[in-house]
Structure 1
Amino acid sequence: MASTDIGRYTPWPLSVTCTDRGDGTLLIRVIGELDACVVSQFRAEVAGLVKAPVRVVELDLDGVRFCDAAGVRELLTLRHRAAQQQIMVALVAAHPAVQYVLGLVGQRAWLPGPGQR
């Protein structure tokens, strides 16, 4: 019987960009997959950004096509660590895949409101 090589899983590259709005607000845009393969990269890139004098972090996850349990845990950890520093993390946009998984874990209240992505 001949073996078939189905290939290796290659995660979608993760891209994290940051825009300082200059008023204590930071927009963090994430593109790619937020899963167990990349959460350490996400944590490393975001950790140095979420600190004083930032007061609000706007998190745009519209470009995140997949998010697993590790990704959700990292998002909730980010929100918790920010709150400990009196920094609010607002989810301003989320891909439907992210909205779905956040809904599954009881975080619908964190989803963007009507008129937002």
Structure 2
Amino acid sequence: MGSETEHILMIPFLAQGHLRPFMELALCLHAKTHFTITLLTTPLNADHLRQRLASTAVRVVELPFNAADHGLPNGVENTEKVPLPLVINVFHSTKSLEPHLRNFISSHFSPSKPPVCIIF
């Protein structure tokens, strides 16, 4: 990410009840530490977070996600608008984010300068 500051990665679960608290925690961490804070999530959740974090230094990064690959309706990337029987699909879909997360970490950090922490 090009910065010499310490870095915290945050990966919220795909639910509004997690996204908003992670957003608030990111703001608090940045205010108290001035570390670089990056939230990683799916594209639609990233859009939601960017709207709320537009005037802040908190970064939002999209991880590729295709709802149809997980039996979810188009435009569903969290538990907010999913029918109850499909909530489990959202839960299982998070596993597909792992390779993208690993790729992000390996391409932005080195073993000698890893993130300070990763919050799930």
The structure with the greater share of residues assigned to helix is 2
Report which of the two structures shows the higher radius of gyration computed on alpha carbons: 1
Note whether the superposition's TM-score is higher than 0.5.
no
- TM-score, structure 2 normalization: 0.34
The structure with the greater share of residues assigned to strand is 1
